[in-house]
Amino acid sequence: MRLYFILLLFISSQSLKAQDITKIPQTIRDSISYAGFPVTVYNQTLFYVKNNLGPLSAKDRANIATEKITILEKDLLAKTDSIRVDSTGGNTNIIYKDLIIVSITPEDAKINNLPSFQLATNYKKAIVRVINQYRTENNVVEISKRVGLGLLILLILALLILYLNRYFNRFKEWLSERLDPKISSFKIKSYELLSKERALFFLRRSINVFKYFIIILSIYIALPLIFRLFPWTKNWSDALIDFILKPLKDIFSGIIAFIPDLVAIIVIVLVFKYILKGIKFLAAEVEIGKLKLSGFYPEWAKPTYNIVKFVLYAFMLVVIWPFLPGSDTQVFKGVSVFLGVLLSFGSSSTIGNMVAGLVITYMRPFRLNDRVKIGDVVGDVIEKSLLVTRIRTIKNEIITIPNGSVLAGNTVNYSIMAKKEGCILHTTITIGYDAPWRKIHELLIDAAMATEGINSKLKKPFVLQTSLDDWYVSYQINAYTNQPEKSALIYSNLHQNIQDKFNEAGIEIMSAHYQTIRDGNQITIPDDYLPKDYKAPSFNIKKDGTK
């Protein structure tokens, strides 16, 4: 590996040495303008042609000069000492024997701000330099050296790859043996995210990836070195280097250019962050009752904060948008429009539920833990969000209702009045006309007052006679409770107490349909409430008015 880098330094020094030998004098470089058509020979731009000459355009003059110089550099018999500068006919010519390589007109001299002879001399030096450089770098000895260096680089590369494979495999085995007893599975609580075997597998795979990365990097470094050894492949070397350096340079330049916008984005985010912190603090104070606002209920604090937070985040995104890299490109604009259309068409029902959730929040039809009836669902509200309302029924079922359905239907709230005036629980029984109604009222009220959960301190239970039917009277007992969430249990206890009270009083709770075949049957009151000498009545038949 050390030999590889020493070789790299040697080749670089040789390249710098060649550049020093063939360096263009400062006066020549100053005289070369970067406008016009270049005369390029051996991958080097010697000078630029800017003016026409007779029927020849500047481009034609540059191409002709390039062609003549190329012929001269490949003609090993051509002596660069024979190249001279001669002024004839108003033009200054660079001549090899009888061949005019290039003519410098007074206009050329004027545009380059040099005398014609001085400009021609500079051009001649550049031509002689490139011809000598070409012949020096392309003789048999130099080419043999370069071929030898190229083979040496390939040999070093092959040995490097061989030893990398060998030592990386040994390192992988050694590391696995050392870490095998130390590595354990990676868990998040009870979930095993990464088992021990999987962790070792990823470790070995990472080592392999790193090995191949070094091999590819070594090949990528070796190829430009080999290509740079030969003049006709130097462009390939530059291209390979540009493949890596140009993206890195662009990325680095982009990062540097983005720094002012990044600072602006950070400032904007911090400003909005502390604004939200202040609003969150005020919302918390309102929610716990420390800060009271007229007409603003504490339960509105959290949803209002969420709405304000959403609006501020949306506004912050609008403010930040122009500072994002590429925000003004057509692709960025097209993607943003596409996402907007997709959101509009794909979330119409969702937005409807969100709007309904906002309306429900500020209508206050119910609060968390309230006992409600929404449609056919009765239960306690356990969650109220922008999209849905969740209810736990008395059977411990969780029912999710979209807020759109809640807003479209009727909602019965049993808890709002329960804490103040109490919620009325009621049940109805039917008793025959032979039972005194005052006694029935008394028994029903006693049963209600004996029921746990009925709060007679709020208001005394009362009875309503809701109907007078053909065979029976309907009695409805109404009792107050401030525990509507226990209504199912209270109803059950109330029904038990009604049975007990009526059994104790000897009054049957019977249906009129059953009264038609009562003669000759045992009474339905339990034996504990019957006298000891009780007997079932006989079955009587009347005929023509006699028994």
Helix, coil or strand: residue 482: coil
What pLDDT does 478 receive?
96
Contact criterion met (CB below 8 Å) for 523 and 508: yes
Contact criterion met (CB below 8 Å) for 7 and 152: yes
272-281, pLDDT tens digit by residue?
999 999 999 9
DSSP letter (8 states) at residue 23: P
495-541, pLDDT tens digit by residue?
999 999 999 998 888 765 544 555 666 666 667 777 877 777 776 66
Closest CA to 176 of 159, 156, 201, 153: 201
Query: Is residue 328 scored above 80 in pLDDT?
Result: no
High-pLDDT (> 90) share of the chain, %? 16
Cα-based distances in Å from 187 to 184, 194, 198, 258: 9, 7, 13, 39
- pLDDT grade for 447, boundaries at 50, 70 and 90: very high
Query: Considering the chain, what is the average pLDDT of its residues?
Result: 80
Over range 124-148, report the average pLDDT.
Answer: 79
Higher pLDDT, 473 or 230: 473
What pLDDT does 5 receive?
39
What pLDDT does 23 receive?
42
d(CA 157, CA 168): 16
Task: Tell me which H or E stretch contains 142.
Answer: helix 140-179
d(CA 124, CA 25): 12
- pLDDT grade for 22, boundaries at 50, 70 and 90: very low
Domain 423-529 listed as CATH 3.40.50.720: no
What pLDDT does 32 receive?
39
Parse the chain into domains and list their residue ranges.
2-138, 142-229, 351-413, 423-529
Over range 338-348, report the average pLDDT.
Answer: 67
The sheet carrying 83-88 orders its strands as 83-88, 91-96, 99-104
Closest CA to 422 of 448, 450, 459: 459
Higher pLDDT, 233 or 253: 253
d(CA 96, CA 118): 18
Over range 237-262, report the average pLDDT.
Answer: 83
The residues pairing with 478 across neighbouring beta strands, listed in sequence order, are 426, 462
What pLDDT does 449 receive?
93
The pTM of this model reads: 0.48
Q: Which CATH class is domain 351-413?
A: mainly beta
d(CA 226, CA 237): 8
- pLDDT grade for 19, boundaries at 50, 70 and 90: very low
φ, ψ (nearest 5 deg) of residue 274? -75, -30
Closest CA to 36 of 126, 116, 108: 108
Q: How crowded is residue 121: how many other Cβ atoms within 10 Å of its Cβ?
A: 19
- pLDDT grade for 448, boundaries at 50, 70 and 90: very high
What pLDDT does 124 receive?
86
What pLDDT does 17 receive?
41
What pLDDT does 3 receive?
42
Query: Is residue 443 scored above 90 in pLDDT?
Result: yes
The residues pairing with 468 across neighbouring beta strands, listed in sequence order, are 473
Higher pLDDT, 139 or 298: 298
366-397, pLDDT tens digit by residue?
888 888 999 889 999 998 888 899 999 988 99
* Residues making up the chain, counted from first to last: 547
Question: Cα–Cα–Cα angle for 146, 149, 154, nearest 5°?
Answer: 125
Query: Is residue 2 scored above 60 in pLDDT?
Result: no
φ, ψ (nearest 5 deg) of residue 380? -100, 140
What pLDDT does 511 receive?
61
55-69, pLDDT tens digit by residue?
888 888 888 888 888
Query: Is residue 199 scored above 60 in pLDDT?
Result: yes
